[in-house]
């Protein structure tokens, strides 16, 4: 029998509630001979207030032994902005070299699109996860004076760009439409932008079957709304990818449905799966959160670990459930949605 060692970080706000439903569906999807060993880690605002810790070294060490990590949400208004985001979430992404931040944008049948004409949306954003303006390369001078100067310098390495661009080309090659769009802003960010474009063009030569395209990020936001069907795979830097994937969520049924995987394709460290949404403290503890994004992230987790059939079962269950949601008269609670999906997966 096989064992799946899962590290679980529920985190803040609605994190606990949505993760519970994710685990429910995970165990109902797996065959009986797969043993799931979950280790839950108390990290986030509560831990920070109690001990001042965000991600202790000992916990980071332990997490290395997991097959994968499931994370709920990080961030709380009682903690200064950036402390948990940088000290916990980004620290995990950087420490485990999660350079492929995979964020599908798919409009499921029956889900109301805010876009006219109900377009066919099925793309995936490959967001670089370890570089760009996220590295913390900056500082402030004359802090607190009216002469203050703040810098936030984007880091882009040929190594870091090439590996994520290669990953995106391989994904595009494996999809029916075989199209890859690079999104950047090389009319202004000429140093990083041209490096991205040069590497993109040189890897493209190895993928003659993949159709390539380039868009400036501002233009890309227009097409996400006016012509989302033009996208198949998108590769972009860390910050552009952050912004675009919230927009992607908005046009595919909302952040309650948007899943993500922070992938380390080498397997050197565990990959981490999390809903794109945040901790939503305003609705925490009320059973109002939609756990679907977490459940779809669990499907990505299973697919990553080689459980392709189980991942597909979850996606099919979500698709069927979403198709039925439109006809439901009363809103369901977080656990009702989890129960419904677990039952579908099992049956
Ligand atoms: C996300 C979030 C994070 C990010 C924050 C919470 C650090 O917005 O996962 O998209 O910017 O990557
Ligand atoms: Mn974001």
Q: Are the CB atoms for 315 and 104 separated by under 8 Å?
A: no
d(CA 345, CA 338) in angstroms, rounded, equals: 10
Which among 252, 279, 306 is the end of a domain? Answer: 252
Give the range of the structural domain holding residue 234, as residue numbers without chain letter.
Answer: 115-252
d(CA 199, CA 150) in angstroms, rounded, equals: 30
d(CA 31, CA 48) in angstroms, rounded, equals: 38
Which among 252, 286, 317 is the end of a domain? Answer: 252
* Same-domain pairing of 156 and 268: no
Q: What is the pLDDT of residue 107?
A: 97
Q: What is the pLDDT of residue 116?
A: 84
* Same-domain pairing of 149 and 242: yes
* Same-domain pairing of 70 and 187: no
d(CA 33, CA 45) in angstroms, rounded, equals: 36
Residue nearest to atom 10 of ligand 1 (CA): 242
* Same-domain pairing of 215 and 278: no
d(CA 160, CA 165) in angstroms, rounded, equals: 9
* Same-domain pairing of 34 and 151: no
Say which CATH number the domain at 170 has: 3.40.718.10
* Same-domain pairing of 230 and 312: no
Which among 201, 232, 252 is the end of a domain? Answer: 252
| Successive 10-residue mean pLDDT values, the chain, 347 residues | 94 98 98 96 98 98 98 97 97 98 96 89 98 97 98 98 98 98 98 98 98 98 97 98 97 96 98 97 97 98 98 98 91 97 96
CA–centroid distance, 245 to ligand 2, in Å, is 7
* Same-domain pairing of 70 and 101: yes
* Same-domain pairing of 125 and 241: yes
Long-range contacts, 332-337 (Cβ 8 Å, 24+): 333/287, 333/288, 334/14, 334/17, 334/18, 334/21, 334/287, 334/288, 334/289, 334/290, 334/291, 335/17, 335/20, 335/21, 335/287, 337/21, 337/290, 337/291, 337/292
Least distant ligand from the CA of 130: 1
Decide whether any atom of ligand 1 lies within 6 Å of the 40 Cβ.
no
- Residues with catalytic annotation? 134, 185, 218, 242, 246
* Same-domain pairing of 89 and 148: no
d(CA 40, CA 53) in angstroms, rounded, equals: 16
Which residue out of 90, 104, 239, 249 has the highest number of ligand 1 atoms within 8 Å of its CB and is therefore the one to mutate?
A: 90
* Same-domain pairing of 126 and 241: yes
Q: What is the pLDDT of residue 113?
A: 87
Q: What is the pLDDT of residue 118?
A: 87
**Burial of 5 from C-beta contacts in 10 A (0-12 / 13-18 / 19+):** middle
* Same-domain pairing of 247 and 306: no
> What is the domain count for the chain?
2
CA–centroid distance, 113 to ligand 1, in Å, is 24
d(CA 283, CA 334) in angstroms, rounded, equals: 11
Decide whether any atom of ligand 1 lies within 6 Å of the 339 Cβ.
no
Decide whether any atom of ligand 1 lies within 6 Å of the 242 Cβ.
yes
Decide whether any atom of ligand 1 lies within 6 Å of the 68 Cβ.
no
d(CA 169, CA 171) in angstroms, rounded, equals: 5
CA–centroid distance, 242 to ligand 1, in Å, is 7
Decide whether any atom of ligand 1 lies within 6 Å of the 89 Cβ.
yes
Nearest CA to 338 among 9, 17, 3?
17
Residue nearest to atom 8 of ligand 1 (CA): 242
Encoding tokens for residue 107?
């409009």
Which residue out of 69, 85, 129, 272 has the highest number of ligand 1 atoms within 8 Å of its CB and is therefore the one to mutate?
A: 85
pLDDT (tens digit per residue) in 3-44:
999 999 999 999 999 999 999 999 999 999 999 999 999 999
* Same-domain pairing of 238 and 266: no
Which residue out of 43, 242, 276 has the highest number of ligand 1 atoms within 8 Å of its CB and is therefore the one to mutate?
A: 242
pLDDT (tens digit per residue) in 163-210:
999 999 999 999 999 999 999 999 999 999 999 999 999 999 999 999
Residue nearest to atom 11 of ligand 1 (CA): 242
Atom of ligand 1 nearest to the CA of 93: 12
CA–centroid distance, 3 to ligand 1, in Å, is 31
Q: What is the mean pLDDT of the chain?
A: 97
pTM of the entire predicted model: 0.97
């Amino acid at each position: 029998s096989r064992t799946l060692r899962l590290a679980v970080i529920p985190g803040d706000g609605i994190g606990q509630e949505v993760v519970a439903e994710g685990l429910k569906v995970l165990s109902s999807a797996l065959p009986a001979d797969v043993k799931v060993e979950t280790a839950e880690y108390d990290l986030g605002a509560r831990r920070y207030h109690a001990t001042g810790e965000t991600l202790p070294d000992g916990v980071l060490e332990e997490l290395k032994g997991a097959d994968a990590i499931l994370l709920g949400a990080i961030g709380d208004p009682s903690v200064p902005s950036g402390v948990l985001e940088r000290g916990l979430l980004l620290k995990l992404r950087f420490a485990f070299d999660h350079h492929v931040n995979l964020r599908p944008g798919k409009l499921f049948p029956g889900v109301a699109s805010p876009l006219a004409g109900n377009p066919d949306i099925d793309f995936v954003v490959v967001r670089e996860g370890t570089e760009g303006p996220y590295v913390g390369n900056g500082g402030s001078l004359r802090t607190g004076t009216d002469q203050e100067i703040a810098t936030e310098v984007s880091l882009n390495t040929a190594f870091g760009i090439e590996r994520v661009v290669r990953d995106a080309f391989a994904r595009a090659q494996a999809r029916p439409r075989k199209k890859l769009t690079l999104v950047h802003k090389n009319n202004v960010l000429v140093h990083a932008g041209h490096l991205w474009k040069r590497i993109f063009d040189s890897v493209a030569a190895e993928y003659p079957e993949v159709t390539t395209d380039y868009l400036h990020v501002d233009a890309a936001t227009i097409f996400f709304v006016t012509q989302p069907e033009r996208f198949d795979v998108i590769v972009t830097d860390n910050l552009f990818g952050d912004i675009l994937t919230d927009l992607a969520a908005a046009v595919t049924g909302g952040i309650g449905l948007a899943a993500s995987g922070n992938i380390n394709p080498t397997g050197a460290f565990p990959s981490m799966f999390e809903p794109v949404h945040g901790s939503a403290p305003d609705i925490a503890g009320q059973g109002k959160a939609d756990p679907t994004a977490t459940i779809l992230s669990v499907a990505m987790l299973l697919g990553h670990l080689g459980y392709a059939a189980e991942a597909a079962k979850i996606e099919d269950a979500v698709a069927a459930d979403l198709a039925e949601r439109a006809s439901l008269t009363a809103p369901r609670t977080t656990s009702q949605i989890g129960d419904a999906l677990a039952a579908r997966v099992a049956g």
